[in-house]
């Protein structure tokens, strides 16, 4: 994990939040390459779960919601973790993560009594009469989809089964954030609520399990990278009748990356009771009204990014030298190709390389220009950020060797092999390799 954290900062994937002020635990900033990788994961997820389907409706709900939403969902009274505080050093810990709940694991001091700690962040909004209303930074995206269920029904008149999807930011006041970007206080979740007839839940649950397996395959994960954990009675969330968690083989251990929960009709029924709104679905064939049941596939975006980095990170020997390389799948790599002039002090090479760079960037925006240091150093730098191909413009490109004119050297990241490729077919070749 330490090597991944170091590379992430060194190469502009992830920085410590508020670093110049000493940081803030559980907060991280995504740098240029981290944002690009995160967007690639988001876009792939959206294409697979929303754009490619006829039964899915995307939304982007507000982070601040009427506080009654969280009363109805049970978060105000029940969204808590067991907390203990050291009476000596005042450090706080989750009681369920400690083997010994009597002694502090940091200083050996005595731990206080276990208390329930609500994980929602509170803030206030001013009202017309000048008083303040307590509101919460949302701890999950799910409720935004449930409270918009009626809007989707009224606007689009979908037929069951159908889903509402969202990628959004959430906030959880974690007692002990840890493991880099794995457990944080500000997180993004890719999630959908899939509304079904209760009679079909078993069949639909199996379908979504298979769909989620396909998603992890699309990220380049192997079967051995993922464990499916059936959550037994007594350990599931109170609203769930069945839950399967997906665990990825992170550097620290196998840990949760996503999950599938059968939430029954718990949420819609609670919102009906607390809001008075009619959130039933009317079957157009029978004119029967009923409250749909819900399946919820959930995916942690930050945890996905960490998993992709962990899977891609390799140290190997190439050409007699040890290197660090991110073997990212080309469709996820933040930079698809880098363009070099062989020598940056030769204007004719730089001019031609710039032409090639601009030509490629029109078709493939994720192209990088790199002329810093010698070619070997550029290769190593691009290997570390996961760039699949490096394109070098040399004197042969300019026609020094007539049969090589208007060709470039394309170097493969994974094996270091090089080939000459004609400029007029370069963009098409790269697009085919990327799958664009």
> For residue 109, how many other CB atoms are within 10 A of its CB?
15
Kindly give the pairing relationship between strand 115-118 and strand 14-16: unpaired
Residues 6+ apart with CB under 8 A from 253: none
Beta strand extents in 70-138 (DSSP E only): 80-85, 92-94, 115-118, 121-126, 132-137
Cβ neighbours, 10 Å, residue 25: 12
Q: Which residue, among 315, 392, 234, 328, has the nearest Cα to 44 in the 3D structure?
A: 328
* CATH superfamily to which 2-64+137-309 belongs: Bira Bifunctional Protein; Domain 2 (3.30.930.10)
Beta bridge pairs of residue 295:
194, 262
Q: Which of 326, 363, 374 shows the shortest CA–CA distance to 392? A: 374
Q: Helices 423-434 and 347-363, interaxial angle, to 10°?
A: 40
CATH 3.30.930.10 residue window(s) in the chain: 2-64+137-309
**8 Å CB contact between 37 and 13:** yes
Q: Considering only CA atoms, which of 305, 185, 175 is closest in space to residue 250?
A: 305
What pLDDT does 326 receive?
97
| Residue pair 170/141 in contact by the 8 Å Cβ criterion | yes
Where exactly does CATH 3.40.50.800 map onto the chain?
A: 335-434
Q: What is the mean pLDDT of each run of 10 residues along the chain (436 residues)?
A: 93 94 93 97 98 97 95 82 83 80 85 83 76 88 97 97 97 87 94 97 97 97 96 87 96 95 96 96 94 97 97 92 95 97 95 96 95 94 97 94 92 95 95 86
Cis ω for the linkage preceding 11 (within 30 of 0) = no
Q: Which residues make beta-bridge pairs with 324?
A: 315
The domain 335-434 is classified under which CATH number: 3.90.1150.10, 3.40.50.800, 3.40.50.300, 3.40.50.720? Answer: 3.40.50.800
- Parallel, antiparallel, or unpaired: how do β-strands 389-393 and 337-341 relate? parallel
CA distance 116 to 247: 27
Separation in Å, CA 168 to CA 62, 340, 357 = 9, 38, 34
Residue ranges with strand state E in 92-156: 92-94, 115-118, 121-126, 132-137
Cβ distance 27 to 15 under 8 Å? no
What single DSSP character describes residue 35? H
Contact between 160 and 152 under an 8 Å Cβ cutoff? The reply is no
């Amino acid at each position: 994990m330490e090597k991944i954290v170091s590379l992430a900062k060194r190469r502009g994937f992830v920085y410590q939040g508020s670093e110049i002020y000493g940081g803030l635990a559980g907060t991280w900033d995504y740098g240029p390459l981290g944002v690009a990788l995160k967007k690639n994961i988001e876009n792939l997820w959206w294409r697979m779960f929303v754009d490619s389907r006829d039964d899915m409706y995307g939304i982007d709900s507000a982070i601040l919601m009427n506080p009654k939403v969280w009363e109805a969902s049970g978060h105000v009274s029940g969204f808590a973790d067991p907390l203990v505080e050291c009476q000596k050093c005042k450090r706080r810990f989750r009681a369920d993560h400690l083997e010994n709940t009597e002694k502090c694991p940091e200083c050996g001091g005595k731990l206080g009594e276990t208390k329930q700690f609500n994980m929602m962040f509170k803030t206030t909004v001013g009202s017309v009469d000048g008083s303040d209303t307590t509101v919460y930074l949302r701890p999950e995206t799910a409720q935004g989809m449930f409270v918009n269920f009626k809007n989707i029904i009224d606007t689009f008149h979908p037929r069951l089964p159908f889903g509402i999807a969202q990628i959004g930011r959430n906030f959880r006041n974690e007692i002990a954030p840890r493991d880099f970007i794995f457990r944080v206080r500000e997180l993004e979740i890719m999630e959908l609520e899939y509304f079904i007839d209760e009679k079909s839940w078993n069949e639909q649950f199996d379908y979504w399990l298979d769909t989620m397996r396909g998603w992890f395959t699309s990220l380049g994960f192997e079967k051995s990278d993922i464990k499916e954990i059936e959550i037994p009675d007594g350990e599931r969330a109170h609203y769930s009748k069945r839950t399967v968690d997906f665990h990825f083989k992170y550097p620290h251990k196998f840990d949760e990356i996503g999950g599938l929960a059968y939430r029954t009709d718990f949420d819609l029924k609670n919102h009906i009771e607390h809001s008075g709104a009619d959130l039933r679905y009317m079957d157009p064939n029978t004119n029967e009204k009923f409250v749909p049941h819900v399946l919820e596939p959930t995916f942690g975006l930050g945890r996905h990014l960490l998993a992709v980095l962990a899977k891609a990170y390799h140290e190997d020997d190439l050409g007699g030298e040890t290197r660090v390389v991110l073997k990212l799948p080309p469709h996820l790599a933040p930079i698809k190709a880098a363009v070099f002039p062989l020598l940056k002090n030769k204007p004719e090479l730089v001019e031609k390389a710039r032409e090639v760079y601009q030509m490629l960037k029109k078709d493939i925006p994720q192209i990088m220009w790199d002329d810093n240091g010698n070619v070997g150093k550029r290769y190593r730098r691009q290997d570390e950020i996961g760039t699949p191909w490096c394109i070098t413009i040399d004197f042969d490109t300019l026609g020094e060797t007539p049969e090589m004119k208007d060709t470039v050297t394309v170097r493969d990241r994974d094996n270091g092999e090089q080939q000459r490729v004609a400029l007029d077919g370069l963009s098409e070749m790269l697009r085919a390799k990327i799958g664009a």
